[in-house]
Amino acid sequence: MAAWAPTKLGIILLLGLSWSCTALGSTNDVTCPFASWRAAIIALSSTTACRGCDFEDCVLSCQRCAFGLPAAVDLRTCPKTGTPRIYLTPTGLVCIQKGGVRPVAGLNGTAPPPVQLFGPPPPLEVVTASVSDAEVQVLTGHDRPKDLVNLLDMDEVAKTEEYAVLLSQKVDNATDFVRQVASSATDKLTANLRTGDVIDLSVTATVSGSGRRRHLLEAAHGSRRSLLDFSSLLLGRGSLNISNIQLKRTNGGKDFVVGGKPVNITSLTFLVRMCGKELNFGPQDIQKIYFNKFAGSGVYTLQRQHEVCSFNKLLFPPETNLIFGPIDIPCQATVTSTTTDANNTGGKGTVLKLPMYQYDMTKACNDVEKYGVWELAKQWLQQNQPAVYANIRFYKRKIVMLSFADKCEWKGLGNTGCGDGHCLSWHRVPPSYIAEGSWGANSPDMTALFHELGHNIGLNHASRVYSTPGLNTSVYGDVTDPMGSGYPDPTRVKAGPVCFTAPQAYKAGWYSPIDNPDYLDPNLDGVTSADFNLWTLQAGRMYTFTVPSMHLSDKNYIRISLDTLNNVKLQSAVFLSYRVRQGPGGFDHAMRPAFDGAVMLHEYNGTASAKPDSVGVMTGLRALLRPITGRIPDLQSNIQQFEFVKSYRSPKYTTGPEPSWLVARVVTTTADYKIAAPPKQVKVGLCRANIDAFTAVMANEETCNDDFDRDCNGVIDAEEAVCERFRFRRLLRERRTTS
């Protein structure tokens, strides 16, 4: 056979040939005619049946083509005129003018090597590519407005909570491409991933039909691709599946406070007029509720909430938090990449525009809708504020307020933690039922906004752990914390904040344990600080602490770790704190009045580090203590009322040297405590019980004649009824001794 040509029997296979680039002289000084992998693959003839193709330094190299062997071509050998086209010949891949004569001789004019017939590979049904250095983003949604009509169904809201795991890759200095890969916190493949994790992985997609899309997908099979490269081939058709996840490193904690050093939040707020629907407020309205200088003293601002609640550790100054809008964005659009830099496919020069998101806000609220709208808002910034756009990554957080989002069944949605990519939160406006009754129609729901910004720090939801066995934890049940259902007192909402609880602020790096714990009995062994292990306490002994109101200092809680790990940051722990509402603009000013002057006992199994916890790790409100007992309705749940108690006994903990219970008791008396004007500090007693109850079996000469209270019920064992007979013997001995 003198010439190469396709036949009915198949395509000629050249055996034993080492495929290499076709080159005629030096090409080092020739500009590459292709800007990206996709552009090169479009020029690759489908008759080549090449798969696993990579594009780097203007060389297209494929792992397998129709001849069954690797092939490559230096694309700088393409003709300078006409439309370049890449074909497969017995000499390998060649780039010639479309419609031109294909070479049939061997390299440098030699005769073609021996050939034999071979059929083309069968079409692929599934293609797989590898992706390197994708950053994880976890999104958590907050309160679906349609569920909040009567304020009694927060637990139902939690059942339908929005959750998503997404992968992000940098396209250029301003653009990230983001694709959702999971929507359940119980997904085994992604359950351990956190925002900021950088991973390598495999991506898989099904292939159907024929034509260019199939050709491109098959060329990607077995190669290393960017997320944008691969996903753009699936736009509108097919789903993206992932596997073979390998964690490489972690980015995160961009607003995490370390060592008390102040951190400035940087953000861009976009007021988006979706589908022509007007917003109820403009940039000047947002300025008044964001910044002190536009609002005056003694009123709520987002800046003041950060200053007061973090003790000036996390700041929200107007100079680094900018507001733009209104920005008109259509209901439907196909959004393409706008990069002009070389991307990570190895292309040089201007990158071919790739379709990124095809969205329709009237029909759905998926990742393509959220990130498509964000991308268009960013493109508006590029056209109207080029100086800000050029430094867009300086502004870590991006807040998108939408005038229309009927298919988005959340009030707010935000990144849980911030990695190196854009850290986003989205907000529906006008706000939900509760916010309309407090913030008003001309303001976004600032409670929800602070909640989403808390997620950006890396905080999860603040839950309530019911005291009745068998009841599930209420995900949003802590009404004293903005990360739960901590909606403010509506009569005070515009005059001051509700601050984080002790464990949330511990996680954020805002607060630390009491500096100099005040014991009534300094001679007790073991405890030398307000941050200690439960088993440090002598069993059956009461340790009494003076606990100040949290507003007095950033050293404002007691922390009791519940296991014996060496790394204190990784320990489960109980937190005790005391909170008193302050005047306008002050700490906890808008906390609901029923909780004013309460000692709060929380349990938290998370870490005091910049890395976010998994979504199931939440702070849990276990008990409310005060000298005056009582009950109040839970306005967020109809499951169980809140009860104020004088003492609390924990579940049994088995993570230490012996099974133990923690008992907390308010020592301050009713004479020194007034609900209408709570004192600035209270005394709280802590006791470790190593038995559930002191019984007759335990009563003997020794246990009934010491001063221990082994079950920590407030009565020393010697005074228990089961010790009466031993108490009589003791009295007889004492009489004999004195007579």
- Where does 385-427 have alpha helices with state H? 386-390
Q: Which long-range contacts (CB under 8 A, 24 or more apart) does 316-320 make?
A: 316/264, 316/265, 316/267, 316/290, 316/291, 317/264, 317/291, 318/287, 318/290, 318/291, 318/293, 320/264, 320/265, 320/266, 320/267, 320/395
Q: What is the distance between the alpha carbons of residues 695 and 584, in angstroms, rounded to a whole number? A: 53
The position carrying tokens 């430094």 is 391
User: pTM score, two decimals?
Assistant: 0.85
Sorting pLDDT into bands at 50, 70 and 90, what band is 103?
A: low
pLDDT one-digit tens code per residue, 588-625: 999 999 999 999 999 998 877 778 888 778 899 999 99
> Which of 472-476, 513-517, 654-658 has the weakest average pLDDT?
472-476
Residue 7 predicted with pLDDT over 50: no
- Rounded to an integer, the average pLDDT of 734-739 is 60
- Structure tokens belonging to residue 498: 């509700």
**Higher per-residue confidence, 72 vs 255:** 72
Q: What are phi and psi of 199, to 5 degrees?
A: -130, 155
Place 259 in a pLDDT band, splitting at 50, 70 and 90.
confident
Rg, C-alpha atoms of the chain:
33
Pairing type for strands 598-604 and 263-264 reads: unpaired
The mean pLDDT of 15-29, rounded to a whole number, is 42
Q: Where are the domains of the chain?
A: 11-118, 123-458, 462-690, 692-739
Q: 590: exposed, middle or buried (C-beta count within 10 Å: 0-12, 13-18, 19+)?
A: buried
Q: How many whole angstroms separate alpha carbon 231 and alpha carbon 73? A: 26
Q: Measure the CA–CA gap between 658 and 490, rounded to whole angstroms.
A: 47
Q: How many other C-beta atoms can be found within 10 angstroms of the C-beta atom of residue 647?
A: 15
- State the average pLDDT for the chain: 82
Q: pLDDT band for position 126 (50/70/90)?
A: confident
**Burial level of 646, CB count in 10 A (0-12/13-18/19+)?**
middle
Alpha carbon 200 to chain centroid, angstroms: 19
Q: DSSP state, 453?
A: H
Percent pLDDT > 70 in the chain is: 81
Provide, rounded to the nearest whole percent, the portion of the chain with pLDDT above 90: 43
Selection from 209-223, 246-260, 326-340, 575-589 with the highest mean pLDDT: 575-589
Sign of CA dihedral 502, 504, 510, 513: positive
First to last CA, the chain: 130
pLDDT value for 341: 40
Distances (CA, A) of 272 to 330, 377, 391: 10, 8, 21
CA atoms within 13 A on the CB side of 717: 27
- Per residue in 659-691, pLDDT (tens digit) is 999 999 999 999 999 999 999 999 999 999 999
Q: What is the pLDDT of residue 113?
A: 46
Min mean pLDDT across 471-480, 515-524, 688-697 is at 515-524
Averaged pLDDT for residues 356-360: 91
98 vs 393, which has greater pLDDT?
Answer: 393
**pLDDT value at residue 523:** 60
The encoded tokens of residue 394 equal 């300086």
pLDDT digits (tens, 9 = 90+) for 166-213: 999 998 888 899 988 888 888 888 888 989 999 999 998 887 777 777
Predicted confidence (pLDDT) at residue 318 exceeds the cutoff of 90: yes
Q: Which of 236-245, 571-580, 597-606, 705-714 has the lowest mean pLDDT?
A: 236-245
Identify the DSSP state of 539: B
Among residues 316, 320, 330, which one has the least CA distance to residue 272? 330
